[in-house]
């Protein structure tokens, strides 16, 4: 009888024990994934690192030259695009105020009418709207169909922006044509195709893909994290600083 009771108790505990084992395995996998990421960087090749630094330099120079007050990064692909720009600006122009950075999710703009767009912008981008008389730059990683950039540029126009610059690591003829059709100014940041086209900035999965809010939601456990990506970009700029300053002097 006693043996039977023990068996029943063990049987009752089995689901709990299995759940704990599963949780422990998931935690171990997460730790291993993080360790692998620490060893395998987002910008694994020297060319990818040079691309990242060059994009930051040329964007910083372009924003300064055109007196841009606001930089709008398109979610999700350009979410991390501000990092090399801010790093380059701080290195090159430490005593000058840099443009404010904003993030816009184009997936949530498609069904908005003019009043909805204005209301959403007023709620989410109070300071951005305060600079609508100044040039604004839209940063994306690539343009194919043009659907995302059309949504963002169209919404900026709806709320009163008129001097809009669309900046992409590389713009081909079709992409340039799309930007010009929107009465925006195209800027192809690099004079070549980047090492990681459409993934130039890394950090693609730092936010969730959703269609109900123009500000994307951050993922609970993104890989890479915002902090780890900033550390990696800081290392790139530190190692390439002489080259960065030489290239900046040519601009």
- With a pLDDT cut of 90, the percent of the chain lying above it is 41
Average pLDDT along the chain: 82
**pLDDT-above-70 percentage for the chain:** 76
Confidence check: pLDDT of 1 > 50: no
Cα torsion 184, 198, 55, 107 to 10°: value is 50
Q: What is the DSSP string of 74-122?
A: ETTTTGGGHHHHHHHHHHH-TTSPPPEEEEE-GGGTTT--HHHHHHHHH
Domain regions of the chain by residue span: 49-250
Give me the pLDDT at residue 190, please: 93
E-strand stretches of 127-238: 136-139, 164-168, 185-188
Query: What are the strands of the beta sheet with 70-74, ordered from one edge?
Result: 100-104, 70-74, 136-139, 164-168, 185-188
Residues in the chain: 251
Q: Quick one: pLDDT at residue 241?
A: 78
pLDDT at 217 over 60: yes
Q: How far is CA 149 from the centre of its chain?
A: 14
Q: pLDDT (tens digit, 9 = 90+) per residue, 122-159?
A: 777 888 999 999 999 999 999 999 999 999 999 899 88
* CATH architecture, domain 49-250: 3-Layer(aba) Sandwich (3.40)
Predicted local distance difference test score (pLDDT) of residue 205: 67
pTM (two decimals): 0.77
């Amino acid at each position: 009888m006693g043996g039977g009771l023990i068996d029943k108790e063990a049987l009752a505990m089995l689901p709990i024990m299995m759940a704990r084992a599963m949780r422990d395995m998931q935690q171990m996998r997460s730790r291993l994934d993080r360790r692998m990421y620490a060893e395998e960087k987002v910008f694994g090749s020297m060319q990818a690192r040079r691309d990242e630094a060059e994009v930051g330099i040329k964007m910083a120079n372009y924003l300064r030259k055109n007196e841009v007050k606001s930089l709008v990064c398109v979610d999700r692909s350009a979410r991390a695009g501000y990092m090399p720009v801010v790093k380059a600006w701080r290195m090159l122009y430490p005593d000058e105020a840099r443009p404010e950075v904003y993030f816009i999710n184009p997936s949530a703009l498609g069904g908005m009418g003019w009043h909805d767009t204005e209301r959403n912008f007023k709620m989410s981008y109070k300071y951005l709207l305060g600079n609508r008389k100044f040039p604004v730059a839209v940063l994306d990683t690539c343009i194919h169909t043009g659907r995302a950039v059309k949504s963002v540029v169209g919404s900026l126009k709806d709320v009163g922006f008129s001097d809009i610059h669309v900046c992409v690591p590389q713009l081909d003829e079709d992409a340039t044509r799309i930007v010009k059709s929107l009465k925006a100014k195209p800027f192809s940041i690099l004079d070549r195709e980047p090492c990681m086209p459409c993934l130039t900035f890394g950090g693609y999965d730092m936010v969730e893909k959703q269609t109900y809010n123009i500000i994307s939601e951050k993922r609970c456990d993104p890989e890479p994290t915002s902090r780890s990506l900033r550390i990696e970009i800081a290392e790139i700029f530190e190692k390439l600083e002489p080259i960065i300053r030489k290239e900046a002097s040519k601009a």
